[in-house]
Structure 1
């Protein structure tokens, strides 16, 4: 008896030998395998459990349509859409417990859509010739995907690529056996923040909300954390969100590659999830420390956080742009939005006497928020700093009022 089943996906017309090797390793370790073919032109050496025809039809198309397109990009997008739809259906039916996809650039392009379709907690592994490459934009990476470089495996099996393939096969089976999936028995609150040296509200808010019967997940707003947050918000996973660290939006509009995507601060609103928003680190733009400063920030003072991450402090004009962007993103929200605006600053370093204090910049940002705050957003101004107790106390008071009014469920 096999305890877990792994769905093995790839273009079986060109990667048949490698995909079958992965399947054999999984079976040797006591797992079971289901196979899915996302190729277009050729056929596997033996029939797959889910054929290329099944995949194309699941996406509302056909293999013939993919062929007739005469374009490999169009054809693979048909297969990407179909594999995502079919995999989600199969997972919901309990057909498999974990997923592994093999590919070069073509297969990886499809793999990202497929993995994105599956919820957090489903083990999903991508074995790719472009793993960890800048070819892959952050917004296309699923929140909990695992990747391994398919070294030396462009054409045919060898001892180098077997090392990667066998590791991935064992990893996905082990993950399927060990994973403790979210059970959502308690209503979940999603919160964004940075570390305690710069933002501290979660230290008091998390236990206070847990005492009220909620589970609290705090997301590190450094690109991928915000991507995971937005993904879950779009799936209506949260009873409410406390999106207090919007810096990824500033990163995005200022040209940093540390971005959670253009839809940052929109998915909770689109799903109608109640949200409280604030300004944690709104005034900083993070960028990759070993790369050049984004052109839009050239000539501004740089603070190196570590060898991976550096920050630039926004000018007053850039803060106005940030304020307008926040208001634009929140304007489409279908659920209630409270924008809590601490008038004395948004991170520990910007207090008077601190290394990043800029009274004119803060004033410019506040004025712009006041001028552009959309009608669907309740603006709450506080004569305090975001790290003061007054901020957390007001958040809890507003949250309790939402619970009493039935806006947030218990």
Structure 2
């Protein structure tokens, strides 16, 4: 029978975890309390799965978790062990976590290992703040605990009970099976490349289920998570702008593993230089000191865009080239010579043909082109219908190569 894991530290939150487990059982959902505590304290509310059983799944064995004197290291080790524990089980219906900052850091990495769609609810004291480090590219539902998760009281009983019932509802109310059997595609979009992606989806939606990801950091991570899981038949990575933020210290980086899933999977891939003219920051007064004299554009009160320079574009081109060179699957990467974003066009604030040329030249210099891996110069703006036509032709090319 599929089972919900109710996860947390039983040495400090045993009563709360058992209460959540009982709420799930009352709702007709099988559940087990999993102890992630590393403290040598007697458990007044014994778990169903003890800490030693989870710790044994650490790559270096249980002692790497339970024999560590430093609490921080022990917690990090237990988080890794729980990831491996979750990956080893095949009967998980969902995960409900309870904790403060430490407990949240313990439970959520394992949640992220689960497939999108598996119910995941984290009741946490830090859920009203920046939850991006915990949620990442996954579909974790974060619920603020209101009071600390430190005993059962009139507030915590309601919040934890609601979380348990929400998870039970996700599990017991099955969604209707999707009738759409079309293969799924991943597309990346930014505000300044929206016209291109809209035209692409209009052209492809009759034959493909088009999944559009906002290139804000977690968008690229989410797309590549689905690539790794084999959920995407192909990728149109038109908006690679997250790479600018990685290299220049912007706020929308997808991390240095961007494009690694493409290389690992060999998925048919069409990429482009979409929005590689900009680095994202918050409000204008948050610009780092070294960038205060640069060309910027206030997208709105909370987002300030900084134009990339010739030297920065060379660096970006070299970085992308190294990633593309690791790809053995069919790859086409398009260079839109008419401009890489809506504001990189004649009369627009980021129009800079020299910076774009430096980007294209760096790619052509460093990409090791083969029959399977090609760069394609397109003499049009990225949002122009003619560029969209070139992208569609490249996509058909990689899909045909993959089928062959």
TM-score by length of 2: 0.89
1:390 to 375, 382, 386: 386
**Higher mean C-alpha displacement, 249-258 vs 351-360:** 351-360
| SS of equivalent to 1:36 | strand
CA distance in structure 2 between the partners assigned to 1:110 and 1:274 by the alignment: 36
Evaluate the alpha carbon distance shift between residue 78 and residue 396 of structure 1 in structure 2; reply closer, same or farther with a 3 A threshold. same
Equivalence for 2:29:
31
Could you say which residue in structure 1 is the equivalent of 2:107?
111
Q: CA deviation at 1:119?
A: 0.8
Q: 1:366 aligns with which of 343, 360, 365?
A: 360
In the alignment, is the contact (CA less than 8 A) between 2:188 and 2:213 conserved in 1? Answer: yes
Aligned twin of 1:174: 169
Distance 2:317 2:374 in 1: 15
1:274-299, CA deviations, whole angstroms, 9 ceiling, x for partnerless residues?
A: 21110111101112338711345332
Partner of 2:185: 189
Asked if the contact 2:99/2:149 (under 8 Å) is kept, the reply is no
Partner SS, residue 341 of structure 1? strand
Q: Would you say the 8 A contact 2:18–2:45 is kept in 1?
A: no
C-alpha separation in 1, matches of 2:160 and 2:12: 16
Of 176-185 and 38-47, more deviation after overlay is shown by 176-185
In the TM superposition, what is the alpha-carbon distance from 1:143 to its structure 2 partner?
2.1
Q: Which of 267, 270, 276 is residue 273 of structure 1 equivalent to?
A: 267
Following the alignment from structure 1 to structure 2, what is the Cα–Cα distance between the partners of residues 366 and 62? 49
Q: How many residues align?
A: 400
CA distance in 1, matches of 2:301, 2:228: 33
Give the Cα separation in 2 of the matches to 1:251 and 1:152. Answer: 36
How does 1:237-386 map onto structure 2 within 5 Å? 237-289=231-283, 292-375=286-369, 377-386=373-382
Other-structure match for 1:209: 204
Aligned residue for 1:25, secondary structure, equals helix
In 2: Cα distance, 1:112 partner to 1:179 partner: 24
Is the contact between residue 239 and residue 408 of structure 1 (CA under 8 Å) also seen in structure 2?
A: no
Structure 1 residues 403, 331: CA separation in 2 closer, same or farther (over 3 Å shift)?
A: closer
Distance 1:167 1:360 in 2: 57
* CA distance 1:127–1:218, shift in 2 (3 Å): same
1:101 aligns with one of 87, 97, 102 = 97
TM-score, normalised on structure 1?
A: 0.88
Other-structure match for 1:84 = 83
User: Take 1:372 and 1:138, find their aligned partners in 2: how far apart are those partners?
Assistant: 33
Which residue matches 2:150? Answer: 155
Residues 319 and 179 of structure 1, relative CA distance in 2, 3 Å threshold: farther
User: 1:351-370: per-residue Cα shift (whole Å, max 9, x none)?
Assistant: 11223222222222222222
1:326 and 1:139 mapped to 2: Cα distance?
27
Return the alpha-carbon distance in structure 2 between the equivalents of residues 350 and 74 of structure 1: 48
Note if contact 2:10-2:35 (Cα within 8 Å) is conserved in structure 1: yes
* Distance (Å, rounded) in 2 between the aligned partners of 1:6 and 1:224: 26
Displacement of 1:348 in angstroms is 1.6
- For residue 4 of structure 2, give the secondary structure of its aligned residue in structure 1: strand
Q: Distance in 2 between matches of 1:229 and 1:55?
A: 30
Q: Secondary structure at the match of 1:350?
A: coil
CA distance in 2, matches of 1:324, 1:403: 26
The alignment partner of 2:333 has SS state of strand
Q: Is the 8 A contact 1:98 1:124 kept in 2?
A: yes
C-alpha distance in 2 between matches for 1:126 and 1:398: 42
- With over 3 angstroms needed to count, the CA separation of the structure-2 counterparts of 1:374 and 1:293, relative to structure 1, is farther
The 1:339/1:62 distance shift into structure 2, 3 A limit, reads closer
* Deviating more after overlay: 184-193 vs 250-259: 184-193
**Residue of 120, 136, 160 corresponding to 1:141:** 136
